[in-house]
Amino acid sequence: MNKQLSRYYEFGPFRLNATDKLLHRNGEPVPLTPKLIDTLVVLVENSEHVVTKEELMETLWPDSFVEETSLTQNISLLRKALTENGNAQYIKTIPKRGYRFVAMVREVNGLTGGPATEETASVPAAVAQQAVEDSPSPTRRAVATHMTTGRMTNRKIHLALISVCLVLISVAVGFYFSRRSRKTEDAFVPKSIAVLPFRTVGLQDDSELIGLGMADAVVLKLSSLNRTTVLPMSSVSRYSKREKDVLAIGRELGVEAVLDGTVQRDGDRVRVTAPLIRSSNGRTFWSGKFDGSYQDTFTLQESISTQLTSALVANIEPSDKRRINPNPTQNAEAYRAYVSGLYFWNKRGKDNLQKATSYLEESIKKDANFALAHAILADCYYLCADGDLGFVTRAEALTRARNEVTKALELDSSLAEAHTVKGGLSIIDFDFGTAECEYRRAIELNPRYPLAHLRYGYLLLGQGKLQDAVSQMQQAQDLDPVSPISNTGRGLMLYMSRDYDGAIKAHKKALELQPDLSQARANLALAYATKGMFQEASAEFEELRNGDALLAAKAEIYALGLAGRTVDARHRLSELRRSISEKQITPYDYVVLYAALGDKDKAFEWLEKVDIKGFGRLKFDPELDLLRGDVRFAQFLSRLHTKLIHPPSQS
């Protein structure tokens, strides 16, 4: 019945299933986030009519405060997805008002699955009048058109009558099921879910990790469903200690439902209660209660995740049932260590990643075939090598990362996490073609893995494809909206796009989520300085010194030079070079700093030492605008682009 009631629209080579949120071009699926599909549905269903920005934002984000830049970004991404041969225009901007969908839209009958009749015909007045009164406004307009047509053949009259009857039946059936769905909470299948870390009562040792483990088991089960977005653990782990009520958390995360479980111990027995709550009204539309042994929480995790998944899957398509993730391991101790490692991996930073590697090493000792643990361990070592964090040597980190990702893919070649790590390692090896293939493969395997979109975005920036990079970062943020990492990445792309206000907002959001994220604070200070807001930049430098003195010093020297205080800037640069080793400042840093000081010759001297990974930033970075008028800069970019196309082999 659900398929019969689906609403379809066709325009150009596209077919939009407005009910199931699917878009196809010439029969091939077009990958869009749920929010982009929602935006397209609103525009298509109001085809040829202006939809104001206010109407769109109220419809798309009814219970959230969202900046207009989010809507603008959605429209930009839609236009890109709908572009054919670089010139098709479907969405027209109406200045100071909103947007209009200008393509010819053909509605396809939702009951029969075939096209609705497009022939015009006059119908008896009584039938037409009843249709106009009982049908929704688009049908009224269609029937009114029929009434003004004039004489038609009997065949056309019959076709028109059939069409009107089908519309009326569709309206009646739709009304019946909408009433039924309002009465039956069990029929509700949320489009998005946040699984909060389970609260613990009567537990002392590892209580936080037990709660995280319960949540992670459910996330793993549900994360492959096509029509329900489940936020990753990186988004929800910070709610281990509840400081807000469930509805406030649901609204903050922008999800339709929240699973708010509790683990309660009484002696050697444990009771787990897991209600699934609608964020809009606080109603519980599914709840499970489970009892078991305190020593067997792994079995309880499995029982909760399986029953919740079954409750949701009962109302969705068989294809989704086949996609449900199996248990990653049957070893309870291996899983417990994995959850601990995952917790610290999500927090990033040298100390946290060192703890994560320790737990993940323990996990794979308990179960050598635990593919996901191998993949996340590989990522820990990749991050150590990429950031030169130093808890192992860079060479050792690279070797361990390669070994672990190879093992993960041998055990399970469908792991998006492993392909994402392999993409990052390929960039380190200057193999950009393989890196792009690996990121694309990761996204194909799991379109809802935000880290794949995030890192692919950085690769695209490095290749000089800024708009594509912005698109990937936007998808990463849509999938993981409260991740400080995705907000920082999006902020950087907006900065490179010279949307300084957007960059400032994104980095402020990242710092609200993680105040000690040094890179976000440095980027925020640079955005302020580039915009000429030096007082605000100075305040951020003061905060930054407590977390990363070197990053603060480099950013402050740039800001002083930009403000015209070149004497102070040169003095600070001299002090900095005396106090640190030469390796702590990259050639790219020197290019930026000397450009800000107005010393172009020095800047170009260091520019020759920048490798091909810096191409994208050199091409777009506002910090280098002072060099762009010099012919030497264009010549260097041209040479670097040639190297990018034919990268050097890695010895």
**Could you tell me the residue ranges of all domains in the chain?**
8-108, 125-183, 187-327
* Topology match between the domains 8-108 and 187-327: no
Give the pLDDT score at 326.
61
Give the pLDDT score at 64.
57
H-helix or E-strand containing 25? strand 22-25
Give the pLDDT score at 166.
47
Per-run averaged pLDDT (10 residues), the chain, 651 residues: 62 85 83 83 85 84 64 82 69 86 78 39 35 39 37 44 46 42 53 85 63 77 70 80 79 87 76 84 78 66 66 53 62 84 84 92 95 96 87 92 96 94 94 94 91 95 91 90 89 94 94 88 92 91 85 89 90 88 83 91 92 86 90 90 69 42
Give the pLDDT score at 533.
93
For the domain 8-108, what is the CATH code?
1.10.10.10
Do the beta carbons of residue 381 and residue 400 sit within 8 Å? yes
Orientation of helix 450-462 relative to helix 416-428, angle to 10°: 20
Give the pLDDT score at 418.
96
Position of tokens 């070079």?
577
Q: In terms of C-beta density within 10 A (0-12 exposed, 13-18 middle, 19 or more buried), how is residue 130 classed?
A: middle
Give the pLDDT score at 331.
85
Give the pLDDT score at 310.
66
Give the pLDDT score at 264.
79
Q: In terms of C-beta density within 10 A (0-12 exposed, 13-18 middle, 19 or more buried), how is residue 419 classed?
A: buried
For residue 261, give both structure tokens: 């479980």
Give the pLDDT score at 363.
94
Give the pLDDT score at 387.
81
Give the pLDDT score at 500.
94
Alpha helix stretches (DSSP H) within 448-499:
450-462, 466-479, 484-496
The CATH-assigned architecture of domain 187-327 is: 3-Layer(aba) Sandwich (3.40)
Burial readout 93-118 (b: 16 or more C-beta within 10 A, e: otherwise): eeeeebbbbebebebbbbeeeeebee
Give the pLDDT score at 313.
58
What secondary structure does DSSP assign to 244-270, as a single string?
S-HHHHHHHHT-SEEE--EEEEETTEE
β-sheet bridge partners, residue 453 = none
